[in-house]
Chain A
Amino acid sequence: MGFLSRSEEMVLLAVYRLKDNAYGVTAAEKLTETTNKTWLLGTVYVPLERLEQKGYLTSYTGNATNKRGGRSKRLYKLTKLGLEALIEIKNVEESIWRDISLDSLKKEL
């Protein structure tokens, strides 16, 4: 069991969403797209590495393209532990937010 920081959680989710095409560039793009904040390569590398260290992700070398100057990708995918973690997070999130709707929050403002 380990703790996940907020950014680690988001990166984990992004990798899940990207399926077979999760690597540095796509992860940063995906996160920028979903959070509306700029995610740079440097920002995703550390969480990716940490998640791999903690056993939520595994990585393998992908194909090299011309566009990458002949260098291969480091592709990530979720492990069983990673999936379990996502399930747990989803459960917790939903139970925390269960009785609060976006509308009621906005009304308070």
Chain B
Amino acid sequence: MQNNSYREFPRFFAWLIRKLYPGSDDTRIGDFIELYNNYIDEKVPTSARFWLLFYILRSYPSFFIASVSGSIAILQNYLKSAYRSIRRHRTYSIINVSGLAIGLVCFILIFIWAADQLSYDRFHTNADRLFRVESDVNRSGRWFHSIASPVGLSAALEQEVPEIEFATRCSRFGGIQLRVYDKSMYENNAVAVDQSITSMFSFNFIFGDLSSAFDSPFSLVLSRRYAERYFGPIDPVGKTVLIEGKHAFTVTGVFENLPDNSSLRFNVLIPFQFVNDHLRRMPTGWVNSITNYVQIKPGSDITTVEEKITALVKSKADSTPESRYTLKPLTRIHLHSYIGFEKKLGRIGYVYAFSLIALFVVLIACINYINLSTARLGIRAREIGIRKIVGAVKQNVVRQFYIESVFMAFLALTAALLTAVLMLPVFNSLSGKQFGIGEVINPLNIIILIVLTILIGIFSGSYPAIYLSSFNIIEIIRNSSVRARKKAIFRKPLVILQFSLSILLISGSMIVYHQVEFMKNRETGYNKSNIVYLRMPEEIKRSYESFIEELKTQPGILNISASGRTPVYVGDTSREIHWNGKAPDTDVSFTFWAVDYDFVETMEIEMTEGRSFSREFPGDKQGSFLINETAAKIIGSDSHVGKQFSIFDLNGEITGVMKDFHFQPFRNEINPLVIFIAPNPYWLGNFLLRLSPDNPSGTMDLIESVWNRVFPGSAFQYRFLEDDLRSVYRSEEQLGTFLRYFTALAVLIACLGLFALIAFISERRRKEIGIRKVLGASISSIIVMLCREVGILILAANLIMLPFALYAADSWLNEFAYRVETTWPVYVLTLFLTLIAALITVSKHAWKAAASSPITSITND
């Protein structure tokens, strides 16, 4: 079959040929077209395209190999000489590679941690359109920020603001009692929501139907974890849950647990309307009281929406202080929240700080590399000289050193990846995360790490490469040691820089440790030991007094009372406060706390004025207040007892002043506080008991048996106050532990560098030391001479870093209302620690150099 007509050649092939075969012009494409047509003429035309594609690819390897064969040969040579020099100087190489590897381990671990922090809440399909409504309220000229907004906002927004696609209320309310079959449980994590929530957040329903989940006002949606806790691993849709012993709810859906990197902790979802009607009455009207989330339509301008929300609330609310509303992107909540109770969430500051630390450690490791390679330049100089004589130009030598350092960096990367994977369990327990191997080794990480490794290689190779390649050949071959001595001048600043960074880390971790210990051990103003609190479920509140009566007479219980919040964090504040003689323009807010009789006695709070609540004064039940000293100062007269006082609709008089004590973590200052006897039991949430120090566990058994007798069927839950107080500082403690580990690694790397450096220096000065000894120097004087040099470096590093360390420590400590004030011992200690570490590091070589026989060191060359 003969056909000479021109056939359409697929353009893709022309493109592929040009890509694969660099330097291809039309004539080459013509060659391929000719082969293509030959094939069509001789064989089956239909498979021609496959054949051609295959041909192009098959022909490529030989083209590639042929075109780079020269450079591969030289690359092989470079790698070979790198490998040989690594083997010949094993100690240096191990120090070099392990230094880099440790640096990389730090980097990898911090990197996956930071990546996790940054990934929070991004798993929602509409993550970039989800916002939380936040408010700024102007009170007497000061703007107060909060995450609260009005109850009626969501419904109004959906109807009246066109840019809002969905809006939902979201209110986490205290404990509720759930009964499943005959099991009774106390649930602290229930959230009241609106129907729109299923359209906004990406819930992955395993059972039930997403769209109709909240059709009935008595529907309940659970996370998988909670569904399994209540029902076991079955499909619970349609099953009944009894809430607070009287409301029958039907489970309508179960969603897959939200991932760890979700700042929203949804487990039990209940329709908002029901909660509002039957469980917790939310403030009506247009005051900021709950959280609202919105989803805006694509392309909407956020500032416009914010203005519309502000205008909307203004038009609805009759008389509120000036308010502004803003939208906080959901994805920023985890890292960028600075309000009240959200402080414990991870913060962007820590992400920055740790990223900086990772960079520091990597930098220290790079400096190590630079230091060691230049220190060894005398040894390498001859090799370079020979290469230059044989015909290498400067470019070749530069490239060789770059390739060598990149090669070392890759060795380090391999070691680092292995170590990081092995260290994951430790790291997980430190960070409280659940990282697996997949988080360490995944394509994205590997690409980033490879790029980083190449950068590290180039960075740490650059100084040796440029410096070593600039040698004068003749000088090298004739005498290699002249130059090497001179360049110690450059190495010293590098050692100082290394130690400066280590010093910053050491003092930083000590300061954090100090502050955490300070907060844990600081007096709270009351006796915090042996206080236990029991949750008070809703259904027993009416008869809570009978429990107190029962326990009062029991042995082992010194005192018993009850309160609304636990003393760990009391955060309810009110501005509706009046006292006799209050200036009309004073706008202050008092923290308020509902308690029961014997509260002051149970907590062992000192009274500075007046008396505490007592059953002997019937008036105390309604309208009697205790304030703390801070509040007393604000009220400001000489005597407070008997002063008329009111908070919202409670009127009465002040009966006493308590000494200031801490009812919030030490981050926060002591606010003015007012406590009063709960007007009705529903204000209370916990029993507070002071146990006698002997046999508290026996007492707890006793309490539990009483509980089960008085409140059969109600869940018994207790916590020791001291445990809770300690766990408040978990994020600071975590920071401290993290810092300690990374500091240890950084110091280790710096010491490794110093170790190799002193080995080098004492080797270089072998002859000098020999001559000194011949002339009568003692071993100790030589050791002192060698150590003095290092000591001066460490001193300089400390002096240079001091201002930075002071500044960093101060800006961190200033976040705490109660902080350690004297930090100078930390710096003195740091100085001593670094000096000792450095001297231990150099001692072995210094001793070896000083003790060696002068005859061998002088004659042996």
Q: Within 8 Å of chain A (Cβ to Cβ): is B58?
A: yes
If A66-B5, A72-B30 touch, does A43 touch B23 (CB 8 Å cutoff)? no
Check B66–A47 contact: CB distance below 8 A.
Answer: yes
Q: Within 8 Å of chain A (Cβ to Cβ): is B223?
A: no
Identity of the chain A residue whose Cβ is nearest the Cβ of B67 in the assembled complex: A46
Indicate which residue in A7, A24, A49, A66 contacts B23 across the interface (CB closer than 8 Å): A49
Check B66–A46 contact: CB distance below 8 A.
Answer: yes
If A40-B59, A42-B59 touch, does A71 touch B23 (CB 8 Å cutoff)? no
If A42-B60, A42-B62, A66-B4 touch, does A25 touch B55 (CB 8 Å cutoff)? no
Check A71–B21 contact: CB distance below 8 A.
Answer: no
Q: Within 8 Å of chain A (Cβ to Cβ): is B9?
A: yes
Smallest beta-carbon distance B11→chain A, Å: 11
Q: Within 8 Å of chain B (Cβ to Cβ): is A70?
A: yes
If A41-B35, A66-B4, A66-B6 touch, does A72 touch B59 (CB 8 Å cutoff)? no
Check B31–A43 contact: CB distance below 8 A.
Answer: no
Indicate which residue in B25, B27, B37, B58 contacts A67 across the interface (CB closer than 8 Å): B37
Check A69–B6 contact: CB distance below 8 A.
Answer: yes
Q: Could you tell me the distance between the alpha carbons of A41 and B555 in the complex, rounded to whole angstroms?
A: 99
Q: Could you tell me the distance between the alpha carbons of A23 and B30 in the complex, rounded to whole angstroms?
A: 11
Find chain A residues with CB under 8 A from B64 CB.
Answer: 42
Q: Within 8 Å of chain A (Cβ to Cβ): is B63?
A: yes
Check B28–A45 contact: CB distance below 8 A.
Answer: yes
Identity of the chain A residue whose Cβ is nearest the Cβ of B4 in the assembled complex: A66
Smallest beta-carbon distance B460→chain A, Å: 36
If A40-B59, A41-B59, A45-B21 touch, does A74 touch B27 (CB 8 Å cutoff)? yes
Q: Within 8 Å of chain A (Cβ to Cβ): is B34?
A: yes
If A49-B23, A68-B34, A71-B26 touch, does A42 touch B63 (CB 8 Å cutoff)? yes
Smallest beta-carbon distance A25→chain B, Å: 5
Check B33–A61 contact: CB distance below 8 A.
Answer: no
Q: Within 8 Å of chain B (Cβ to Cβ): is A81?
A: no
Q: How many residues of A contact B (CB 8 A)?
A: 24
| A interface footprint on B1-36 (CB within 8 Å = 1, 0 otherwise) | 000111101000000000001010111111111110
| B interface footprint on A81-96 (CB within 8 Å = 1, 0 otherwise) | 0000000000000000
Interface residues on B, range: 20 to 34
Q: Within 8 Å of chain B (Cβ to Cβ): is A30?
A: no
Check B35–A64 contact: CB distance below 8 A.
Answer: no
Identity of the chain A residue whose Cβ is nearest the Cβ of B27 in the assembled complex: A74
Q: Could you tell me the distance between the alpha carbons of A40 and B17 in the complex, rounded to whole angstroms?
A: 14
Check A68–B63 contact: CB distance below 8 A.
Answer: no
Check B66–A41 contact: CB distance below 8 A.
Answer: no
Check A73–B30 contact: CB distance below 8 A.
Answer: yes
| A interface footprint on B556-598 (CB within 8 Å = 1, 0 otherwise) | 0000000000000000000000000000000000000000000
Check B59–A23 contact: CB distance below 8 A.
Answer: no
Find chain A residues with CB under 8 A from B9 CB.
Answer: 69
Q: Could you tell me the distance between the alpha carbons of A15 and B25 in the complex, rounded to whole angstroms?
A: 20
Smallest beta-carbon distance A15→chain B, Å: 15
If A67-B6, A69-B6 touch, does A43 touch B66 (CB 8 Å cutoff)? yes
Find chain B residues with CB under 8 A from A70 CB.
Answer: 6
Check A69–B31 contact: CB distance below 8 A.
Answer: no
Q: Could you tell me the distance between the alpha carbons of A65 and B33 in the complex, rounded to whole angstroms?
A: 10
Smallest beta-carbon distance A33→chain B, Å: 14
| B interface footprint on A37-58 (CB within 8 Å = 1, 0 otherwise) | 0001111011101000000000
Find chain B residues with CB under 8 A from A72 CB.
Answer: 26-27, 30
Residues of B429-478 whose CB lies within 8 A of A: none
Q: Could you tell me the distance between the alpha carbons of A29 and B791 in the complex, rounded to whole angstroms?
A: 76
Q: Could you tell me the distance between the alpha carbons of A64 and B62 in the complex, rounded to whole angstroms?
A: 27
Identity of the chain A residue whose Cβ is nearest the Cβ of B23 in the assembled complex: A49
Check A71–B59 contact: CB distance below 8 A.
Answer: no
If A49-B23, A74-B27 touch, does A68 touch B62 (CB 8 Å cutoff)? no
Find chain A residues with CB under 8 A from B60 CB.
Answer: 42
Smallest beta-carbon distance A60→chain B, Å: 11
Find chain B residues with CB under 8 A from A49 CB.
Answer: 23
Check A67–B66 contact: CB distance below 8 A.
Answer: no
Smallest beta-carbon distance A31→chain B, Å: 12
Residues of B27-64 whose CB lies within 8 A of A: 27-35, 37-38, 55, 58-64
Smallest beta-carbon distance A5→chain B, Å: 9
Identity of the chain B residue whose Cβ is nearest the Cβ of A75 in the assembled complex: B27
If A45-B21, A67-B6, A69-B6 touch, does A40 touch B31 (CB 8 Å cutoff)? no
Check B63–A46 contact: CB distance below 8 A.
Answer: yes
Check A67–B59 contact: CB distance below 8 A.
Answer: no
Residues of B44-90 whose CB lies within 8 A of A: 55, 58-64, 66-67
Identity of the chain B residue whose Cβ is nearest the Cβ of A70 in the assembled complex: B6
Q: Could you tell me the distance between the alpha carbons of A37 and B631 in the complex, rounded to whole angstroms?
A: 99
Indicate which residue in B4, B5, B30, B38 contacts A71 across the interface (CB closer than 8 Å): B30
Check A25–B35 contact: CB distance below 8 A.
Answer: yes
Check B31–A24 contact: CB distance below 8 A.
Answer: yes
Identity of the chain A residue whose Cβ is nearest the Cβ of B37 in the assembled complex: A67
Find chain A residues with CB under 8 A from B62 CB.
Answer: 40, 42-43
Smallest beta-carbon distance A40→chain B, Å: 4
Find chain A residues with CB under 8 A from B30 CB.
Answer: 64, 68-69, 71-73
Indicate which residue in A23, A47, A64, A66 contacts B31 across the interface (CB closer than 8 Å): A23
Identity of the chain B residue whose Cβ is nearest the Cβ of A74 in the assembled complex: B27
Q: Could you tell me the distance between the alpha carbons of A61 and B7 in the complex, rounded to whole angstroms?
A: 22
For B9, B25, B30, B67, the residue with the greatest tally of chain A CB atoms inside 10 Å of its CB is B30
Smallest beta-carbon distance B10→chain A, Å: 11
Indicate which residue in A24, A61, A65, A66 contacts B28 across the interface (CB closer than 8 Å): A24
Check A45–B63 contact: CB distance below 8 A.
Answer: yes
Identity of the chain A residue whose Cβ is nearest the Cβ of B35 in the assembled complex: A25
Find chain B residues with CB under 8 A from A41 CB.
Answer: 28, 31-32, 35, 55, 59
Identity of the chain B residue whose Cβ is nearest the Cβ of A43 in the assembled complex: B62
Smallest beta-carbon distance A99→chain B, Å: 34
Find chain B residues with CB under 8 A from A69 CB.
Answer: 6-7, 9, 29-30, 33
Check A43–B63 contact: CB distance below 8 A.
Answer: yes
Check A43–B59 contact: CB distance below 8 A.
Answer: yes
Find chain A residues with CB under 8 A from B27 CB.
Answer: 23-24, 61, 71-74
Indicate which residue in B21, B23, B26, B31 contacts A25 across the interface (CB closer than 8 Å): B31
Identity of the chain A residue whose Cβ is nearest the Cβ of B40 in the assembled complex: A67
For A42, A43, A66, A74, the residue with the greatest tally of chain B CB atoms inside 10 Å of its CB is A42
Q: Could you tell me the distance between the alpha carbons of A66 and B7 in the complex, rounded to whole angstroms?
A: 8
Residues of B692-722 whose CB lies within 8 A of A: none
Identity of the chain A residue whose Cβ is nearest the Cβ of B65 in the assembled complex: A46
Q: Could you tell me the distance between the alpha carbons of A37 and B294 in the complex, rounded to whole angstroms?
A: 71
Find chain A residues with CB under 8 A from B7 CB.
Answer: 69
Indicate which residue in A43, A46, A47, A67 contacts B33 across the interface (CB closer than 8 Å): A67
Q: Could you tell me the distance between the alpha carbons of A45 and B28 in the complex, rounded to whole angstroms?
A: 9
Find chain A residues with CB under 8 A from B26 CB.
Answer: 71-72
Find chain A residues with CB under 8 A from B38 CB.
Answer: 67
7 closest cross-chain pairs (CB), A and B:
A71-B30, A42-B63, A42-B59, A40-B59, A46-B66, A74-B27, A68-B30
**12 A-B contact pairs sorted by A residue (CB < 8 Å):** A24-B27, A24-B31, A41-B31, A42-B62, A43-B63, A46-B66, A47-B66, A67-B33, A67-B38, A68-B31, A71-B29, A73-B31
Q: A68-B31, A71-B30, A72-B26 are in contact. List 15 more A-B contacts (CB 8 A).
A: A23-B31, A24-B31, A25-B35, A40-B58, A40-B62, A41-B55, A42-B59, A42-B63, A47-B66, A66-B5, A67-B34, A68-B37, A69-B29, A69-B33, A70-B6
Residue numbers of B with Cβ under 8 A of A are: 4-7, 9, 21, 23, 25-35, 37-38, 55, 58-64, 66-67
